[in-house]
Amino acid sequence: MKTVCKKDQCAGCMACVDICSKKAIQVVDSVVAYNAIIDEEKCINCGACEKICQENKSPIQQKPIVWKEGWANDQKIRKKASSGGVASAIELAFVNNGGTVCSCSFENGFFCFSSAQTEQEIEKFTGSKYVKSNPKGIYKKIFDLLRNGKKVLFVGLPCQVAAVKNFVGDRKNLYTIDLICHGTPSPKILERFLNDYQLDLVSASNIKFREKTKFYLENNQKRFTVPTVVDNYLMTFLDAASYTENCYECKYAKTERVGDITLGDSWGSELAEDIQCKGVSLVLCQTEKGKELLEQADLHLSDINLERAIQWNHQLHRPSEKPKQRDKFLKEIRKGKKFSLCVWVSYPKRCIKNFIKTILYKTKIVR
Ligand SMILES: Cc1cc2nc3c(=O)[nH]c(=O)nc-3n(C[C@H](O)[C@H](O)[C@H](O)COP(=O)(O)OP(=O)(O)OC[C@H]3O[C@@H](n4cnc5c(N)ncnc54)[C@H](O)[C@@H]3O)c2cc1C
Ligand code: SF4
Ligand code: SF4
Ligand code: SF4
């Protein structure tokens, strides 16, 4: 089996699929890892895929020149967003200035990438989707927009930002925002979780992964657990048990960043709790283009304690560690067992605790 990058280290960025003129590459998702497999009968050995793959080269990363925390001044934007709404506010200013934003939205069961040129269109991007998104098709779109003189803002995971830069090269009109990224599971994991409730991704609507500092999955305003218990999907996500192999060796998990701006949650914030509950983003800026984006957007920004920010966000100094339960959890998933059963056998103590918490909540002993 010939693969574009090292076995099991593919990030699923899909840049190789977009560049291959012979349609010879298929990215195979085994849930444990992604692999971009080359069909040697179709391949003409042009080398374009290996050259473009972000996994095969060292990314250009820069130390932040600005460290801030803050939020969108527009309270509607801040409320709707996952954190402080800084991404949405920057995207809004960008389209209002005539640019095109490319980012991730949930459409027809897929976490795909598309473009937006109006205030109404960018709303589809709002909110963190805690799953591996699929940028297939967006690279050519960005390339064409830039070639036609358009300004483009790409917002995505660091590996995706690196992939965009490899695909289109160093362009004056390309602006990028990378998100601090803990790691991502295959969307098949989410599908399997939904299957326990007789749901699937195609029929899911308004899927939401968190409400500010509270993490819970919600589909069409319906939660899957009582409020005192984290659902099994987000429990395995937050415990780093469900990510694909490559994420545990992520080369973007460092202070030096790949985007013009980096956004995350300001977990180390020293602001009052009632302010933090409304959403506070961590905002790092690496370049002059990043400064330009921040100046254009309607944001409230203030200084932060740099050491605390790094300390409270481990992805700024190391990748997530594989918990001991991961192998068992994914082995059970691959056997096709019910999601809840896979979690029970991998995390028995936690499941018993959650079971008791649920009973206490339902009998109104704990609220
Ligand atoms: C998989 C994942 C893991 C993360 N891990 C961490 C972490 O460990 N620590 C931390 O501080 N922050 C993390 N974040 C970032 C955090 O969840 C917020 O996205 C960030 O703080 C920006 O918040 P906001 O309110 O400004 O974003 P919003 O205004 O809500 O906008 C979110 C933007 O992110 C894009 N986006 C959402 N999901 C995805 C996705 N799956 N792939 C590509 N683009 C996406 C949207 O399209 C939109 O442009 C993670 C985000 C994701 C998606
Ligand atoms: S070497 Fe060229 S033809 Fe072969 S898979 Fe890669 S991009 Fe496609
Ligand atoms: S990381 Fe991206 S470019 Fe590299 S093999 Fe995987 S999908 Fe292809
Ligand atoms: S942890 Fe790294 S490799 Fe994995 S999705 Fe995030 S940025 Fe990409």
Task: Assign 3-class secondary structure to the chain.
Answer: CCECCCCCCECCCCHHHHHCCCCCEEEEECCCCEEEEECCCCCCCCCHHHHHCHHHCCCCCECCCEEEEEEECCHHHHHHCCCCCHHHHHHHHHHHCCCEEEEEEEECCEEEEEEECCHHHHHHHCCCCCCCCECCCHHHHHHHHHHCCCCEEEEECHHHHHHHHHHHCCCCCEEEEEECCCCCECHHHHHHHHHCCCCCCCCCCCCEEEECCEEEEEECCEECCCCCCCCHHHHHHHCCCCECHHHHHCCCCCCCECCCEEEEECCCCCCCHHHHCCCCEEEEECCHHHHHHHHHCCEEEEECCHHHHHHHCHHHCCCCCCCCCHHHHHHHHHCCCCHHHHHHHHCHHHHHHHHHHHHHHHCCCCC
Indicate if ligand 4 lies below 6 Å from the C-beta of 250. Answer: yes
- Are residue 105 and residue 164 in the same domain, yes or no? yes
Say yes or no: 277 and 308 in one domain: yes
Same domain, 194 and 216: yes
Same domain, 135 and 147: yes
Instruction: Ligand 1, residue 130: give the atom nearest the CA.
Output: 1
252 with 153, same domain? yes
Would 8 be classed as within a structural domain? no
Q: Please count the structural domains in the chain.
A: 3
Lining ligand 2 with CB less than 6 A are 19-20, 22, 24-25, 38, 43-49
In-domain check, residue 288 = yes
Do 249 and 305 lie in a common domain? yes
Do residues 174 and 226 both lie within one domain?
A: no
One domain, residues 309 and 329: no
Q: Is residue 5 in some structural domain?
A: no
pLDDT in tens, the chain (367 residues): 899 999 999 999 999 999 999 999 999 999 999 999 999 999 999 999 999 999 999 999 999 999 999 999 999 999 999 999 999 999 999 999 999 999 999 999 999 999 999 999 999 999 999 999 999 999 999 999 999 999 999 999 999 999 999 999 989 999 999 999 999 999 999 999 999 999 999 998 889 998 888 898 998 888 999 999 999 999 999 999 999 999 999 999 999 999 999 999 999 999 999 999 999 999 999 999 999 999 999 999 999 988 899 999 999 999 999 999 999 999 999 999 999 999 999 999 999 999 999 999 988 766 6
Q: Is residue 6 part of a domain?
A: no
User: Ligand 4 centre and the CA of 257: distance in Å?
Assistant: 13
Residue 2 lies in a domain: no
Atom of ligand 3 nearest to the CA of 4: 5
Boundaries of domain holding 52 = 15-56
**Same-domain status, 158 and 112:** yes
CA of 13 to the centre of ligand 3 (A): 5
Q: Is residue 38 part of a domain?
A: yes
44, 112: one domain: no
